[in-house]
Structure 1
Amino acid sequence: MGTFRSAFAVLFVAASWGSASADTFRIEIDWMQTAGHSHQPSQTVLNAVIQMFACAGHTLIIDLDEEVPHYNVMPRNPDNCDSFFGYSGEAASFGALRNGNFDHAGDANFWHYCIFGHQYEDDNCATSGSSGLGQRPGQYFVVTLGSFSGQTGTAFDQASTLAHEFGHNLNLTHCGQDDCDAEGNYNPILTSTMSYRYQLGGVRNNVLCNGLAGEEAKFKEIDYSHGRNCSVNEVALNENIGTYMTPVDWDCDGSFEGNVAQDIGGGNAGWCGATGTKSTLSDVNEWSIVSAFNDSPHPIQVIEEISCITAEEWEQVQRETEAAGGCSQPTLAVEGCVAGENVFVGPLVVVNAGTCTFPFSTPALADSGAPNNSIIYVKPGTYDAAGAVTLDKPATWMCPTGTATLR
C-alpha cells in the first residue's frame, strides 16, 4: 500500500481503514542512519499512528522520505540555547538538516516535518535523554530515542512517541491544559498518549494496571483522549467512587475511604510517592483540539517548544507499574477501531453529553444517545422515570461504584 518515490521513499495513507474526512494531516519523516544503526521507523510503526487518526475520522498521510546523516546529538545555537528548530549553523543541527531535506517545504498543502534522530541538546545546551521535542503548535518535531531500548526505542516507543510529538504540533500538552505546572506531566485522568503516565506504557495497559477501570472499559493503547473522564480534586479524592468506572485506592493504603488528599498527577515518583502541589486534574477532548488546529491558518504562531519524557522518567513509570501488578509495555499492533464509548449516567444533570463530567440525566436518554456497543456507567443515585422504560440499545450497563435505583 504505497507509492514509491525513490529507493527510500514510501507514501503511507489511511484510506484503506476509513473514509476520507475534511481533516487531512501530512507529515514528512526523515531518519538518521549510519552503518549498523538506523532510526528508520517501520511500516507497522507508521500504520499504527495512521490508523489512530483514521479511527477518529481523520486522514493522516506520512511520507517516509529519506535517510540523513547520523549525528549523536542535534545541537542548539551555542549563543542562544533557546534556539533549536530555528538554528542551522552546524551540519548536525535540525535547521540545516531540514533546509537540505524537507522536500514538501514549498507545497501548497501544509506539511509537518519530523526527524527520527538520536538525541538533541536541551535548553541549557546539554545533551538530553528526552524521547523527543515538538513545537506547540507548529510544524516541526523530532523523535529521539537514542537513550532508550537498543538506542532506537522499541516499536511501541517509536509509534507512541511519533503520535505524542505530533500531538504537540497539533496544540496538545502533557496535561490537557495550557500550563502543566500545577497538574504535572503524569495526569492519570487524561487517558492519552500525551500524558507521561501513558506515553510509553500504553493507555489501556496502564489504566488497567493502575486500577482506574475494569477490562470492559473502552480504551486503546495509542490514542489521544476523548474527554470522557471526570475531573478529580486532589485535595478531596473520594476513593469509593474513584473514576466512576471503578473505586480507586488513590492514597495506596490498601483500603477505600470517603475522602483523601493525594498528589496523583505529580512527578515521576508516581502518585503513591508524590508529595507535590495538589490541584484539580481534568480530562479534555484532545481530538476536538486537533480538529481546531487543522481549521486554523498555517503556518501559525509557535507558543513553546515542549521537551518530553526522558529514559530515566520512563524507568520510574516502569517501576511503578511493576509495583502495581507487573504490567509490561504492550506489543505494538495496528489497533482496530473501538466500537462504542465510555458513557455515563448521573442524577441532577444540567448538560446531557454522556461524559463523566456531563452525564446523561436518565437511563432512557443514555439508551437513545449512546453509540451502539458502549459501556454505560450509571452513577449511584435514584432516577425517576415516567412510566415504563425500555432499554434496548446494544450496550453493557454497569454501576460499579454503588447502587442506582430506577423508579
Structure 2
Amino acid sequence: MDIYKKKSLVTLISSLTLFACGGSGESGTPTPLTTPEAETSLELTSTLIAPEAENSLELTSTLITPEAETSLALTSTLIAPEAENSLELTSTLITPEAETSLALTSTLTPVIKIYNEAPTFNDRSVSVNFNQPASFFLNATDTNHDHLSYRMIQQAAFGSIALNMMTEEVTYTPSDDQVISDFFIIQVSDGEISTDARFDITITDSIAPKIQLLDQSNLFSTTVPIQISFDDLIKNSSITVNGDNNDCSGSIQLSHDNFLSCVKLQKYTTPIGKTATDDYIKSITLLINSPLQNNSMYQLKFNEQIENYHGLYLERIILNYQMIMTTPIINEISASAYSNSRRWFEIYNGTGKTINLSDYNFISKGINATGNIIENHNFSLPAQLIDSDSYVIIQAQESPNSSQTSAQNSKQLIVIDDPDYAPYWSGQGYIELINSVDQSSVDLVRFGSDTQISSAPLITGKSLVRSITHQDSGNGSDWTTTHFSTPAGINDVNDCIRDDDNDGIPDCSELKNSTFAGLPLYQWGARSNQKDIFIEVDYMKSNDLGITPQKEALQKVKEAFSNRGYSVHFDTGTLYHPGADISHDDFDLSGGNSVPFTKTINFAKEAGVSSLVDYKSQHMDLRRRQIFFYMLFASSQNIDGEAGSSGLAEMNGNDSIISLGKWGLNKDTIENNNALINIQAATIMHEFGHNLGLLHGGDDGINFKPNYLSVMNYLYQLDGLASPGNNEGDRYYGHRFSGSAVCDQQSLINGPRNNVEHFLIDYSNGTGSTLDETQIDESKGLGRTFTSGIDFNCNGIIEGKIGVLEINGPTWVFENETWLEKEVVSTMHDHNDWEKVSLKFQDHWPGNAGQSRSAIVTQKKIDFMLIDTQKFIAEKTPSDAFFKRLQGE
C-alpha cells in the first residue's frame, strides 16, 4: 500500500478481508465475514483525510459487495504511531439489513510520497525618481506556507540595494545623477525549492530643474567667473549664451539695462562623473568676455529653454545682484534748508570685507561758527570698523566747538569732530570721499549746479539717494531725490511720495511685505489710512518699580489714543516677552532695551549728569529715528539722585524722560499697585504730549487752570482728571486749599490709588467754557455741560458770581528754559488738545517749534536727523502733600 502525502491530504487504497466479531454473542478467533447475500471477499476503496495533526487520521469508507449492490457503512479510525511506516486500523462495519456488528482489524504498511510546490516570485519593473531612493516589498508567496528566505543573486550595476529580511522590504538608491536604467536579481527559497525574480529599474523625473549658485560671492566680482550648478542633468544643447552682437537671445543672459542689451558670455561645462554622458551636464562656468561696471546692478536671467534629461524645462528666473565694490561709496545725502542744520551723508560698505573709517577722509564745503563758508575743507574720520553690507552716517556737529561727546558715536553714527568747520551744502554742493593713505578719490558726488566733476540732481526733497541696489555707474542717473530719507538703511522708499494719513510714515511702507529702511513697519502694526505712532521705550536696570515700564500703564495710554483714532505702538523689547519673535500684546517690536543705570539724567551732558542723547545714540537703531519717538525710563533729574520731577520732554520733538525713581512706587498693596500704574500712565501721556506740541495750558504755559481738563495740566496730571458733576472741584481744593477743613476732602474721586479702570487720563477736547478771574461764577464749576459747581473761594458755599478771585494761585511758567513764578488775574480758556495733536501730524518746517503755523502754507515735517534736539519742557517736583496722598497718608 502506498500513501501519497501532502500536508493536507492522504489517499489510502487497500484490499480488506472482513471477519465476524460479534452478532451471535460468542467470542473467539475472528472468522471471515459473510455478507447476507453472498459469502465472498469484499473489496474496499477508502480515502483518508488528515486533520491538523499528523498522528491522528480519520478514515471514512464505503464498502461495496461485488455481486450485489449492498452498501455497507464502515467507519474507521486510523492511529499513526511514532513512525509513519506502521499504521493500525480498527473499524466497525454495520450491515444495513441486520444489526450485525463486524470487527475489522488491518495492518497497513504505507509508502509516503511528499509533494512541495515552489515559492511564487515574479519579475517586476520599478520606477525610481531622479536622485531619490525608492522602497518596495518583495511580495513572494508560498502555497505550503513555508518560511521563506532571500538572497541577492545579481547586484545592481549602478545603484545600491538594501534588503531587510525581517520586513521583506528592499530599497534601491540610485547613484548620484543616475539616469541609466538598472536591474538586479533576488532569489527566494523555502528551504528546498527556490525562485529567482528580476527587478528592472527605470529612472524617472517629475520635478522641473532648478539652479544652484555654487558660490554666491562669485556673483559680486568683476574678475571671477560665474559658476552655476543645477539640481538635475541638463541637456548641454539647451544652454546657449550671448555672442558678440550683444543681443539677448541666449537661454542664459546677463544684462545691466533690463535686457535691452546683453553682455557677451562664454560657457564651459564641468564633467559630472560616471553616470554622465557627453550630452548632459550638471554645472557650467560662465566667463564674462567684456568688462562689467563696478558698483553697478546686473541681472542674470535663466530662460525656459533650459531642458533636463527627462524633457522638463526650467522655470524662468531673474537674479538681481550688485557687482562687488572695491571701495565704499556715498549712498545718501541729506537735504539742508538751514545754515545750522546738522547735515549728514551715508557711506555704504559693499566691499565684502570690514573697513576702517580712519582709512578715509572727505572734502566738502565748510561753514564756521560765524556763518562763513569756504569752498573746500578736508574732514578726517575717526577709527571705526564698518562691517560689510553695512551703513554709517557721517553727521555734522550742532556747531563747531559744540559740547557733543564721542559717546554719541556708534556703529551707525559718526559725529564730525572738527574745531573749525562743519560740512556745508544746500540744495547744491559736493562731497568727495578720499583714500587717506594715497589721497586718491574714492567717490565723488556733485549735486545741483555745483562745478565739481560729477552729476546729480538738485536736492529738493528729504535727501538725495542711490537706488536700492546701490548702483554706481558714474552718472546722474544713479541718483534721485526722495520725500523720505532712510538713514543707515537700505533705500527702499525712493518712489514713495504719499502719506495720506499724515502720520509721517510713507503709505508704501504700511503695506504688506514692505519695509522702511529695512524696518518691517507693517509687521509691527503700521497700516495705511491709520495714524500710527511708534515709541521705543528704553528703561534703566533697577529694582525700583517706578523705573520699570508697567505693561498696564502702557496699555492705558494706548487705549486713550485709540479712543481718538490713533494707533500707538510701544516697544519695550523683551521686557514682557522674552521670545525671539515680536508680540504686539506684550509691546515687543524687537527694539526696546534695558540700559545701564545712572542716578542722574538730563538732555545735556554735564559733570555728574548723563545725557539722554548718548543713551539714544548707543541703544536706538538709527533707522528708527525718522519714525519712532524715544522715551527713556530713568531714575532722577536731581544731581543727588533723589526723587524729583516726573519727567522731561522736548517740545515738538521726539525725545522724553520718565523719571519716577525714589517715588516709593510699589506693588505692596492693591492701592499701591494702582498708584504705580496710574502715575506711570499719566506721566507717559503728559510728557508725550509735549512731544506732540502741548504746553501745560494747552496752547499757553498757564498751569492749574481748572477748566482745562487735560493730563497736560498739573492740576490733573498725577491725580487724574476730575469728573464733572461728581465733586468736580476735589483736585482744585487739594491744590489751592490743601489741608483746609472746609474744602480739602483728602480723598479724590477716582484718584491714583483707586481702580485703574476708573482713573481718567486724556487730553482736553476744548469744550470747557472760559473762566474770567474778574467775575467768577461758582455755579458753573468747570464750565462743562454737566456740573455740580465748585466752591472756588472755599467758604463752604457754592454761590453764583463772587467777583474777582485768583483761581489758579501763583503759577509756575516755563519760559526761556527756566521756571518763573507768576500770579496774575487772567482769563483762562480751555484748549482743544486733540486738534493740536492732529496738526502735529501735518507739516512743519524743520526747526520750527510748532507754536505758530500757517493754515494755508504747505510746510515740511521736522526732520529729526537734521535737528534731533528741540527746546524742552521741564517739570516741577510735586508737593509734599501729593507724596503723602500717594502713600495713602
* TM-score computed with the length of structure 2 as normaliser: 0.29
> Hey, what's the Cα distance between the residues in 2 that align with 1:158 and 1:88?
27
> Hey, what's the Cα distance between the residues in 1 that align with 2:616 and 2:536?
11
Cα distance, 1:127 vs structure 2: 7.0
CA contact 2:710–2:764 (8 Å) conserved in 1: yes
1:250 maps onto 2:792 in alignment: yes
1:132 maps onto 2:699 in alignment: no
- 1:87 corresponds, among 582, 594, 605, to 605
CA contact 2:708–2:764 (8 Å) conserved in 1: yes
Cα distance, 1:26 vs structure 2: 1.2
**Quick one: which amino acid aligns to residue 195 of structure 1?**
N
CA contact 2:721–2:761 (8 Å) conserved in 1: yes
> Hey, what's the Cα distance between the residues in 1 that align with 2:596 and 2:528?
35
- 1:68 corresponds, among 595, 608, 623, to 595
C-alpha distance after superposition, 1:77-133 (max 9, x if no partner): xxxxxxx42538878322221111112x323752110110101148xx997710000
Partner of 1:299: 863
> Hey, what's the Cα distance between the residues in 1 that align with 2:795 and 2:870?
41
Partner of 2:691: 169
Higher gyration radius (CA): 2
Question: Residues 113, 257 of structure 1: CA spacing in aligned structure 2 closer, same or farther, 3 A cutoff?
Answer: same
Q: RMSD value over aligned CA atoms?
A: 3.8
1:28 maps onto 2:570 in alignment: no
SS of 1:266 mapped into structure 2: coil
CA contact 2:635–2:641 (8 Å) conserved in 1: no
CA contact 1:21–1:57 (8 Å) conserved in 2: no
Question: Residues 309, 240 of structure 1: CA spacing in aligned structure 2 closer, same or farther, 3 A cutoff?
Answer: same
**Quick one: which amino acid aligns to residue 73 of structure 1?**
T
C-alpha distance after superposition, 1:246-275 (max 9, x if no partner): 332221112203232222223479xxxx99
Question: Residues 57, 35 of structure 1: CA spacing in aligned structure 2 closer, same or farther, 3 A cutoff?
Answer: closer
- 2:832 corresponds, among 273, 277, 285, to 285
CA contact 2:679–2:718 (8 Å) conserved in 1: yes
Taking the TM superposition and a 5 Å limit, the aligned residue runs for 1:8-407 are 21-34=529-542, 39-64=547-572, 65-74=592-601, 84-87=602-605, 92-103=610-621, 105-107=622-624, 109-121=626-638, 129-150=644-665, 154-178=676-700, 180=701, 183=702, 185-204=703-722, 208-211=726-729, 221-242=760-781, 243=783, 245-246=786-787, 247-255=789-797, 256-267=799-810, 276-296=823-843, 297-299=861-863, 304-312=871-879, 315=882, 318=885
Quick one: higher RCO (CA 8 Å, sep 6+), 1 or 2? 1
Cα distance, 1:206 vs structure 2: 8.7
Cα distance, 1:204 vs structure 2: 3.5
CA contact 1:174–1:195 (8 Å) conserved in 2: yes
> Hey, what's the Cα distance between the residues in 1 that align with 2:595 and 2:790?
48
* TM-score computed with the length of structure 1 as normaliser: 0.60
CA contact 1:32–1:39 (8 Å) conserved in 2: yes
**Quick one: which amino acid aligns to residue 262 of structure 1?**
L
SS of 1:203 mapped into structure 2: coil
> Hey, what's the Cα distance between the residues in 2 that align with 1:291 and 1:149?
36
Partner of 2:852: none
Structure whose residues are more often helix by fraction: 1
CA contact 2:704–2:714 (8 Å) conserved in 1: yes
Partner of 1:325: none
Structure whose residues are more often strand by fraction: 2
> Hey, what's the Cα distance between the residues in 1 that align with 2:809 and 2:564?
29
Taking only the aligned residue pairs, the percentage that are identical comes to 26
Cα distance, 1:22 vs structure 2: 3.4
Question: Residues 304, 151 of structure 1: CA spacing in aligned structure 2 closer, same or farther, 3 A cutoff?
Answer: farther
C-alpha distance after superposition, 1:128-154 (max 9, x if no partner): 710000000101000001142338971
**Quick one: which amino acid aligns to residue 605 of structure 2?**
Y
SS of 1:34 mapped into structure 2: coil
Question: Residues 137, 275 of structure 1: CA spacing in aligned structure 2 closer, same or farther, 3 A cutoff?
Answer: closer
> Hey, what's the Cα distance between the residues in 2 that align with 1:157 and 1:109?
29
SS of 1:150 mapped into structure 2: coil
> Hey, what's the Cα distance between the residues in 2 that align with 1:108 and 1:268?
35
> Hey, what's the Cα distance between the residues in 1 that align with 2:605 and 2:693?
22
CA contact 2:649–2:874 (8 Å) conserved in 1: yes
> Hey, what's the Cα distance between the residues in 1 that align with 2:699 and 2:807?
16
> Hey, what's the Cα distance between the residues in 2 that align with 1:144 and 1:186?
21
> Hey, what's the Cα distance between the residues in 2 that align with 1:72 and 1:151?
19
> Hey, what's the Cα distance between the residues in 2 that align with 1:35 and 1:254?
45
> Hey, what's the Cα distance between the residues in 2 that align with 1:20 and 1:225?
27
Moved more, 167-176 or 108-117: 108-117
C-alpha distance after superposition, 1:267-319 (max 9, x if no partner): 479xxxx9931211111110111111112203367663111242326628959
Structure 1 gap segments, 5+ residues each: 1-10, 75-83, 320-327, 330-407
Cα distance, 1:224 vs structure 2: 0.6
Question: Residues 49, 14 of structure 1: CA spacing in aligned structure 2 closer, same or farther, 3 A cutoff?
Answer: farther
SS of 1:61 mapped into structure 2: strand
Count the aligned residue pairs: 284
**Quick one: which amino acid aligns to residue 129 of structure 1?**
G
CA contact 1:133–1:141 (8 Å) conserved in 2: yes
Cα distance, 1:211 vs structure 2: 3.4
Cα distance, 1:240 vs structure 2: 3.0
CA contact 2:779–2:790 (8 Å) conserved in 1: yes
Cα distance, 1:165 vs structure 2: 0.4
CA contact 2:544–2:662 (8 Å) conserved in 1: no
**Quick one: which amino acid aligns to residue 835 of structure 2?**
S
C-alpha distance after superposition, 1:64-84 (max 9, x if no partner): 11111111111xxxxxxxxx4
